[in-house]
Structure 1
């Protein structure tokens, strides 16, 4: 039974109808709504969720506040980009399977196109990545990742156990700077959380139907697991650089706990050691990704377009953008029918608490290498980074403005 059926609101029939009948809207309506958000949603995933609430709870009344909060809790529990997964679920509820795809497309396409065009600028002008403005983008990445570590540490590591797990994960990933080192940090943190961490029990909540059957959920979760296990086997068996990159991008999308910034070390470990993308190009693109609206995962479109190897340009950008989002889509589709039962299990909550602490450590490690080591070479760079960090954390200035200001400072002082 939904919250709407428990407390009928005859004065708002559109909300009640949306809650009761999944797939009752128009796919084109879904696409236009999310395209508007994709063009205007600056500020990162937390801001995106605020935009979504204003648009779909308050303005369009597609669902009520309690249903929206429950959906946000699910997407924060799962690996992947939380705001994009919320959008996929809302599109599914409103217009079925096509609606879920068009919600993703509308929200993702504007920033993906902008970053692919930026990638062409990087590849066409050889000295572009060495300019002062691009150095300013790299410095902005230091401030943005530093802000992410700061905020996540306060919320996800509030006690000595989880702070210790974060430090363990940081040390391990510094010692083993690879994707497997990051996986090796996440697993023991999850086990430690399960054995040692006690969190408050989650109370039951109303369930809103999304039009996904349990059978479809099982299929999606099975496919997610098959790809996660099978792609490394295919990559090793073929010794193909393309399959290795596909495996790396899929694994990055499947293991990103704690927000879009955590994809940085996973993707860096995939493309830079393999020689597909130079580290300077990688960090320039990451800085540029802060200046566009929409999900940070569209950074994959830039990497696919800028990389040297078996595929690049528009084809590479679209391919690797899609691959990075596939596990997020499979997970949200797979989890929707089972979320009510899962969230009541204390063990699941404890495991996720440990994993989230480990994620903070992984991001802390990435803040040092490659972000800090590639961008900060002297007092000037450090000063710009410190000012940008202060503007983000204490001044609460928009990341877009901070990134633009950092690029301008780099152009003036380092050009």
Structure 2
């Protein structure tokens, strides 16, 4: 009976509307500065701590899954949360709300600031500093839940060391797989417990169709590009392929996009780099850099096509993976492996807290003080994340007056 009540309460907690998902996603899309790793911290604060749509372990499971998939991991986590909360409309609502603010901003940059060099200002630097505070709080909270004992803390620390030393597009995937094997082999058997079930509103039939579409379009678009000799088909192929094949997300996508849009002569290297600078100054996913590039190539229709094409693989991958992932995470024997994977996720976030966030944001004692103040506002005084973002941005500007 207790188990049935637990499942019922879990399902009840997961129900919601697409409008609710959209409202939260818009707020995140306007305030989530700092890149993909920082986004995971913002999500945790909003979805796990504040709204309790997911528990800590379910959220870490989603992060682990998306780290193993190609594409923008932080956006995929949000799409998965929206899908679980309100079905496919919820997934679309999250993507729209989280993506639209930065996409519109970068389209405006393309129209107004073509060829300009976007220089960092102190308030933008303050946004990087608050990202340090957000991720630090996420690492601290997740470590207490997901690495509470010596074996899992050891996995987390070793994963962090490897992630800091070894930078490659596949390193995170290999770290997660290795941690899963270590957890399965060495963690105690009291980890063999069923995870609290998630309501996945997608059938396995729909999942198989999504996988077929993902690989089918990946093979079909290059053929159609050669046959049609159309710029629109070329945009669709280039951005869909980039969104399908990049591991690591975030900054990893930049050299791939440069090869796709600069080499054909669609824009100059200076225009490309100007857009990259603009992408650092806006919240939300870095993949909306595609909105800037699409605008330069073919105006606002090009922006719509490029943005949709680079994110569409993420929808197919999440819809295709979640039903099978949920089945796997319910297998008692898999729980030890998943505990190892979740500990590795903590380590990967810890490594990212150091590099690139700390190394880029904390330049002097004043930056450290501002980050510590942001951490205290989040963790001790429970100030809303959006308010912390605004205060730290203002703090960065004020500190520059004393510099």
Preserved contact between residue 156 and residue 344 of structure 2 (Cα < 8 Å):
yes
Q: Which runs of 5+ in 1 are unaligned?
A: 8-14, 20-28, 55-67, 93-99, 235-239, 256-264, 290-297
Shift of 1:39: 4.1
Report the equivalent of 1:145: 135
Instruction: Please say if residues 89 and 332 of structure 1, whose CA atoms lie closer than 8 Å, have aligned partners that are also in contact.
Output: no
Deviation at 1:405, TM superposition (A): 0.9
Determine the C-alpha separation between the residues in 2 that align with 1:47 and 1:219: 32
2-structure distance, mates of 1:188, 1:307? 37
Pick from 372, 378, 398 the counterpart of residue 392 of structure 1.
378
- CA offsets 1:299-356 (integer angstroms, 9 cap, x no match): 14433335699898444433333334432222224456xx3xx445232111111111
1:87 and 2:77 are equivalent in the alignment: no
Q: Measure, in 2, the Cα distance between the counterparts of 1:368 and 1:412.
A: 25
CA–CA separation in structure 1 for the residues paired with 2:349 and 2:152: 14
Once the two structures are TM-superposed, the CA of residue 137 in structure 1 deviates from its matched residue by 1.1
Query: Is residue 38 of structure 2 the alignment partner of residue 47 of structure 1?
Result: no
Task: Report what 1:202 is aligned to.
Answer: 193
Partner residue in 1 for 2:103: 116
Deviations 1:212-236 (A, max 9, x none): 5444444546777x69xx89xx9xx
Q: CA deviation at 1:375?
A: 1.4
Aligned length: 341
Return closer, same or farther for 1:374/1:281 CA change in 2, 3 Å cut-off. Answer: farther
Question: For the residues of structure 1 that align with 2:60 and 2:143, how far apart are their CA atoms?
Answer: 21
Does residue 134 of the first structure (1) align with residue 124 of the second (2)?
Answer: yes
Residue 155 of structure 2: aligned partner: 165
SS of the equivalent of 1:405 reads: helix
Distance 1:147 1:354 in 2: 21
Shift of the 154–390 alpha-carbon distance from structure 1 to 2, 3 Å rule, reads: same
Distance 1:187 1:113, change over 3 A: same
Bigger shift: residues 345-354 or 196-205: 196-205
- CA spacing shift, 1:176–1:133, aligned 2, 3 Å: same
Residue 399 and residue 146 in structure 1: after superposition, are their counterparts in 2 closer, same or farther (change >3 A)? same
User: Structure 1 CA distance, aligned partners of 2:394 and 2:181?
Assistant: 46
Q: What SS does structure 2 have at the residue aligned with 1:79? A: helix
CA displacement at 1:117 relative to structure 2: 2.7
Alpha-carbon separation, structure 2, partners of 1:128 and 1:202: 52
Q: Measure the CA separation in 2 of the matches of 1:355 and 1:90.
A: 24
CA–CA separation in structure 2 for the residues paired with 1:167 and 1:301: 30
Separation in 2 of the partners of 1:52 and 1:391? 18
| Partner residue of 1:319 out of 309, 323, 326 | 309
In the superposition, the TM-score normalised over structure 2's length comes to 0.66
Q: 8 Å contact 1:178–1:269 — kept in the other structure?
A: no
Q: 3-state DSSP class of the match of 1:47?
A: helix
Aligned 8 A contact 2:192 2:334 in 1: no
Write out per-residue CA displacement over residues 364-386 of structure 1, whole angstroms, 9 at most, x where no aligned residue: 11111111111121122222112
Q: Contact 1:223/1:330 (CA < 8 Å) preserved in 2?
A: no
| TM-score, normalised with respect to structure 1 | 0.65
Instruction: Quote how far apart the aligned CAs of 1:103 are.
Output: 2.2
Structure 2 residue 150 is matched with structure 1 residue 155: no
Between the aligned partners of 1:368 and 1:207, the Cα distance in structure 2 is 32
Evaluate the alpha carbon distance shift between residue 301 and residue 84 of structure 1 in structure 2; reply closer, same or farther with a 3 A threshold.
Answer: same
Where in structure 2 are the equivalents of 1:210-359 lying within 5 Å? Answer: 210=201, 212-220=202-210, 249-250=243-244, 266-271=249-254, 288-289=282-283, 299-306=285-292, 313-335=303-325, 339=327, 342-359=328-345
